[in-house]
Structure 1
Amino acid sequence: MRIIRAVIIIISCFLSFLKVQSQNSTEVEPIVASRYLEDQFYAGLAYNVLLNKPEGVIQRNLSYGLQLGFIKDIPINTKRNFGFGLGVGYGTNSYYSNIIAEDLGSDINYRLPIAADSLNRTKFETHAVEFPFELRWRTSNATDYKFWRIYGGVKAAYLFSRKSKFISENKNSNISFQNNDISQWQYGLTLNFGYNTWNVHLYYSLNRLLENNATLNNEAIEIQPLRVGVIFYIL
């Protein structure tokens, strides 16, 4: 009898525990589901493609881009799988080519290399504060952390550092200067899509890399960057 009573007591306690858990689940789950957010921190790596290059301009080496930052997730529906994202971050980009930029004091001259230059590489280098805005759709819920996402939008960037660099073939000559011809404000269209950890990142610039007064062989340098890479989201 004592054993039976003990078993009954254990079963009763177990059933009481399950009932409490069930009640907690019905009380907590709606709260969790009504508040959960996704993809608020991001980091990405991209390759910069130079579009609209002037005749004779060749892209060289690995033109790369790095980005990281915070983006506020703002769901607008009950399922919280559709909404907006507004953020701030840091981005750095390097654009390697055979364009030589020369600081003449009051002006900057652009030309293509000649044999006497002994050219190794030249590049435009930028560091920026970025402001992404996204329209967000995903297949997530409050408990599923593996889901599809499609985030499209725009990104503006304020460049606080704009440099041109020239490195000779023997690397004895390394010229670097602040290049104010690089557009200080840059903006473009973005598209990020993928599943779980791996997501494709695309950025198409809507304005030129250089200001309108920058010319090569008396023609405007109308280069526009296109970035193709990967982006990772956490929390």
Structure 2
Amino acid sequence: MLARQRQELILREVEDNGGVRVSELVATLGVSDMTVRRDIETLASKKLVMKVHGGATAVGDRHPDEPGFSVKSEMNPVQKSEIARTAASLIGPGSTIAVSAGTTAYAVAVELRPIKRLTVVTNSPRVAELLYDPLRDDQLVVLTGGVRTPSDALAGPVANAMLAGMHVETLILGVHGIDIQAGLTTPNLQEAQTNRALIKCAQSIVVVADHTKWGVVGLQTIANLEQVDTLVTDAELDHDARRAIADNGVHLIVAPRSDHDDVAE
């Protein structure tokens, strides 16, 4: 099937259903994930569809809210696990860290559990519940207050005020989207403010995001790309994106595939 035929089919799906997922198009068209994403990018550049996390929607139909935690946790689970293992390897025993809300950050928290003597500040009730163990006296977990958002983050003035006096070595930050011009973004205004507070209290910013987040722009910018110290992503991020990230002074780490192919940079 030619590229034009694929794109016409994608456009019909979006027009008929209001949106379509990349995974559905891969199955329907019998092509790779990257081929589908390129077709969506082509249509988006012509303003025929709106590129969103995990697929495309009709132009003008994008909703400012993002999917809930349970929905997002089903997106790209293999890549998230690869990223999580790699990001957790950057954290040593005795570290003081912050972990944001979000499914990729939560996956990192899973990998952090064996590390000794951690102090963890988080605005994610899920991360706090995962890491808290009353039988361990070598670990401190601090959960902020705030208003719970659809992505299971505690955000708003209470969370921001609590974070204002905090100091951590490293922040593990999940994001809704990353764009060369818009930077790190989220569709939730309260989360944007709280994520800025998390960034402000950290010496080093480690963003964890799979390749589908690249080029996605949410409603509010959290930070510019230049503010990021390290980006941990998966091997499917294309080379143009890798070059753009490096050009902005970000240390890029590509997580090895689960099949142990040597793809890290």
Instruction: Provide TM-score, normalisation by structure 2.
Output: 0.24
Greater per-residue strand proportion: 1
Greater per-residue helix proportion: 2
State the structure with bigger RCO (CA 8 A, min sep 6), 1 or 2.
1
Instruction: Provide TM-score, normalisation by structure 1.
Output: 0.26
